[in-house]
Structure 1
C-alpha cells in the first residue's frame, strides 16, 4: 500500500504541473482567439526604438543578477572556476532553460558543455543549488513584499522582509547541514543566502521594469504594483512547467491587473517575450555552442604549516582548515559553516599582510571573514585596518621560571597537592601510551561530562595525540587521568584533559603541576592552561566556575583574547557560528590510511560500539 502511495505521489509531482500548465495554455489560446490581432500588430510596431533599447538594457541587468547565482554555487562547492566563466555559463543556461522548458535539465547540459571538467555529478549539484536557491529567494520576496503590495498594505513589507530574513539566517545558523540517507549536505551560508535574495530582488526589479517600459502609457500601473504582479506571475509560470511559463504567466498577470486584457497588453507581452526570452535564448545558445570548453587546471590546495609562535595552532589539524599565504606572511584559517576564520593571527609575518587575503578567500567561499583569538597587539592592528574587534576570552598563562608554590597566591594549590600526595597518586610523562586504557578513561569522562567539544578545543583521537606530549596520573599503578599538550618553541599549551569519574582530590592539580615542573626543567618560558570566557561575559563565566577556580589556583597571568569581523552584524554571526562549532563540532574526518593506523593503535573492546562511516564512536572520539 505504501509503495502504491509513493508511486502516485511521485507521478503527481512529476505530471501535475505539466498538466496544469497545459490546461492554462489552452485557456490562454481560447482567450487569444478573441483578440483583434491586427490591432495587436499595430500596437507592437508602435513601440518606440528607445523603449526597445531600454527594455533590452533592463533585461541585461536582470540576467547579470540571476547569473551571479552560478558564481555563488561554484564558490559554495569550491570548484575553482573563474567568476567570469561561471557567470557566462549561468546566464546561458538560464536563458535557454527558461525559454525551452525543462530548465534544470537544459541548464545542466549547457553548463556541462561549457565546463566538462566538472563532471556530471558536480554539474547536477550546481544546477540544483541554483534552482532551489532562486525558488527560496523568490518565495521569500513574493510572500513578504509582492503580496503586501498587491493587497494595498505595502508598508507591511518593511516589517515582514527583515523578519523573514532574520528567521532564515537563524535557521541556517542552527542547521547548516541537512542529513539524508547517512549523507550530509551543506546548505548555503547566511552570506550566500542574503546575497541570493538581494540578487533575486534585482532580477525581479529589472525584469519587471522591462515589462513596464513596454506597456503603453495609459495601461501601465505604478511600477511597484507591476513588479509585484510580475513576481507572482513569474512564479505561476515556473510552477506551470510550460516553455517560458507561457499560459500560466499571462493569465496570472491579467488576473492581477484587471481590465487590461486588450490588444495593447497582448502586444506588450509579446514584446516582453521577445526581449526577455527569445533574444537571451538565441544569444545564450549561440555562446554555449560556439565557445570552446573552459580550460580548468585546478591547483592543489596549499598545505597549512601548523607550526607557529603559538602552540595552539596545531589544533587546526582536527578541523577543516586551509593555508593563507602572502609574500610576507602566513596563517591558518578554519572553515565553519558561516565563517572563514584566521586562527591565532599570523603564524609567520605580520597580521596586516594577511587581512586582505583573508577577506578575499572568505568572499570566494561565501563565508564571513573572521579573526579569532587575537592578542592585544594584533587587536590594535585589526582595529587600525577597520575591523570590528571585541574581547571574548582570557588565557591563563604561567611562566614556569617564576612559578613558586610559596606565598598566598598558591595556598589553594598547595592544599590540593597535599591531598594528591596523601592519596598515593604519582605523576609523570606517558612514554608508551596504552590507547585502550586511555580510550576507556575518555569514555568514562564523556559519560560524566557529556560529549566533548571541538573546533578550538582539543578532542580525543589517538591519531592526533600520538605525536604530542602526554602526561598521566597513576593510582596503584593504574592510569586514572591524563593530559595532552601542544608545542611551540618555548611553549606548552593544554590540549586534552581526561580523567575517571571517581578521582582523588588534587589529582588534576598534581598533573598540571608536574607539567609546569617539566617545563621549568626543560627551559620553557610559557605554559598555557587555555582560555576562559572574558569577565565582561558574566553569564558565560558562571557556566565554567569550577574550571575557573581550578585555573586560578595556579595564579596565572590572564591575557585577553579578541574576536574580529568586518562589521558588527558579521561579528555577531561569526561569534555565534564559532560557539556552535565548539558545542557541536563536525565529525573528525578519516582517510583509509588513517583508519588502518587507528585500528593498529586501539584494540577492540569486549562490546563492539556503534559505528558511523566505519569509525567506532567511542574509540575515535
Structure 2
C-alpha cells in the first residue's frame, strides 16, 4: 500500500510537471506569435504609408496572361502534390481508400486551412466529414493529420536547408545573420532530416500525442513524403515566382527558400492565411523589387493560390455532401427488400 501511494504521488507530480511545462510552452508560443505579428504590422504599415496605389494597379495590369496561366498551372501542380500527402498517410495507416477520396479530402482540407487558418479546426473538420463516411476511424483521421503535418515540415526543412547551403546571402536579408552562420544552419537542418530518415528506417518508431498513438512511416514512405512535399513547395513558390516582374534578380532556389521562410513566419503568427507576416517577409527579403510591383504580385498570388482553390473547394464539398445525402435518401426509399443501384 505505501508503494502504491508513492507511485500514485509520483504520477501526480509528473502530470503536474507536464501540465506546467505545456502551460509555459503555450505562453512562450503566444508571446512569439504576437511578436511576429507586431513586427509584421510595423513593416507592412511602413510600406503602405508610402505606397503609390496607382502603381500597384499598373503593375497588376502589366502582368501578362502568360504569367497568370503559368501561375494557375503551378498552383494546380501544388495541389496535386498535396493530394499525395493524404494518399501516403492512408497507405501507412492501411486504409484502402480510392485515390479520388484522398484527393477530395486533401484538396478540400488544404483550401480551407490555407485561406481560413486554424488548420486543425478547418482542415481537420473537412477531412473528418469525408473520411468518416468512408469508414475511417476518428483515431486514424487524427493520425493522418499528424502524418501530413510531419510531411509538410520535412519538405520545408529540405528546401530551406538547400537554400541556406547554396544561397545563404538571400536568407541573411531576413535573419540578419552572417553568411557562414546561415550555411552552418543549412547543413545542420539537412543533417537533421538525414538523421530522421535513418531513425525511422532502423525500426518502427511509435509515440503518443494527447492520447493518440502513432507509428511513424518507415524509410521508403518517408522518402516519398519528402519528394511529395518538395514538389508541392516547388510548385507553390513557382506560382509567386512567375508573377514577379522581370529582372527581379533572384534565382528560383533562393526564392523557394525565402517562400518557405515566409510560410513558416505566417504559420507561427497564427494569422489566417499568414496574411501580413507572409507579405512582410518578402518585403524584407526582396529589396530589389519595388514595393508596388511586389504587392501586386502578392495580391495576384493570393487570388490564384488561395481564393480560387478555396471557392472550388467549397463547390466540391457542397457537391460531395449533396451526393451523400441524395444517395442516403435513395437508399431509404428503396427499402430493405428492394435492391438499389
Q: Is TM > 0.5 for Structure 1 vs Structure 2? A: yes
Instruction: Say which of 155, 176, 180 aligns to 2:204.
Output: 176
Once residues 89 and 4 of structure 1 are traced to their aligned partners in structure 2, the CA distance between those partners, rounded to angstroms, is 34
Q: What is the aligned partner in structure 2 of residue 120 from structure 1?
A: 138
Once residues 8 and 212 of structure 1 are traced to their aligned partners in structure 2, the CA distance between those partners, rounded to angstroms, is 40
Give the match's secondary structure for 2:214.
strand
Q: 1:191: how far off?
A: 1.2
| Conserved 8 A contact 1:44-1:267 | yes
Q: What is the aligned partner in structure 2 of residue 15 from structure 1?
A: 30
Q: 1:67: how far off?
A: 2.0
Q: What is the aligned partner in structure 2 of residue 291 from structure 1?
A: 320
Q: What is the alpha-carbon root mean square deviation over aligned residues?
A: 3.0
Q: Please, which runs of 5 or more residues in structure 2 have no aligned partner?
A: 1-15, 170-178, 326-341
Please say if 1:85 is aligned against 2:101: yes
Count of matched residue positions in the alignment of Structure 1 and Structure 2: 294
| Conserved 8 A contact 2:44-2:279 | no
Q: What is the aligned partner in structure 2 of residue 255 from structure 1?
A: 284
| Conserved 8 A contact 1:21-1:241 | no
Q: What is the aligned partner in structure 2 of residue 547 from structure 1?
A: none
| Conserved 8 A contact 1:177-1:184 | no
Instruction: Say which of 216, 224, 233 aligns to 1:187.
Output: 216
| Conserved 8 A contact 1:54-1:213 | yes
Give the match's secondary structure for 2:231.
helix
Q: What is the aligned partner in structure 1 of residue 165 from structure 2?
A: 148
Q: What is the aligned partner in structure 2 of residue 279 from structure 1?
A: 308
Q: Please, which runs of 5 or more residues in structure 1 have no aligned partner?
A: 296-621
User: Is the alpha carbon distance of 1:271 and 1:205 closer, same or farther for their aligned partners in structure 2, counting shifts above 3 Å?
Assistant: same
| Conserved 8 A contact 2:115-2:306 | yes
Whose RCO is larger (CA < 8 A, sep 6+)? 2
Once residues 253 and 133 of structure 1 are traced to their aligned partners in structure 2, the CA distance between those partners, rounded to angstroms, is 24
Give the match's secondary structure for 1:291.
helix
User: Is the alpha carbon distance of 1:289 and 1:197 closer, same or farther for their aligned partners in structure 2, counting shifts above 3 Å?
Assistant: same
1:571-610 to structure 2, matched below 5 A, reads: none
TM-score using structure 1 length: 0.44
Structure of higher CA gyration radius: 1
User: Which structure carries more helix by proportion?
Assistant: 2
Q: What is the aligned partner in structure 2 of residue 130 from structure 1?
A: 148
User: Is the alpha carbon distance of 1:250 and 1:174 closer, same or farther for their aligned partners in structure 2, counting shifts above 3 Å?
Assistant: same
Once residues 12 and 19 of structure 1 are traced to their aligned partners in structure 2, the CA distance between those partners, rounded to angstroms, is 11
User: Is the alpha carbon distance of 1:158 and 1:229 closer, same or farther for their aligned partners in structure 2, counting shifts above 3 Å?
Assistant: closer
Q: 1:15: how far off?
A: 2.8
Runs of 4+ residues over 6 Å off in structure 1: 153-162
Q: 1:260: how far off?
A: 2.8
Once residues 76 and 3 of structure 1 are traced to their aligned partners in structure 2, the CA distance between those partners, rounded to angstroms, is 30
Q: 1:106: how far off?
A: 0.6
Q: 1:232: how far off?
A: 1.6
Give the match's secondary structure for 1:79.
coil
Note the alpha carbon deviations across 1:278-307, whole angstroms, 9 max, x for none.
111111122122224779xxxxxxxxxxxx
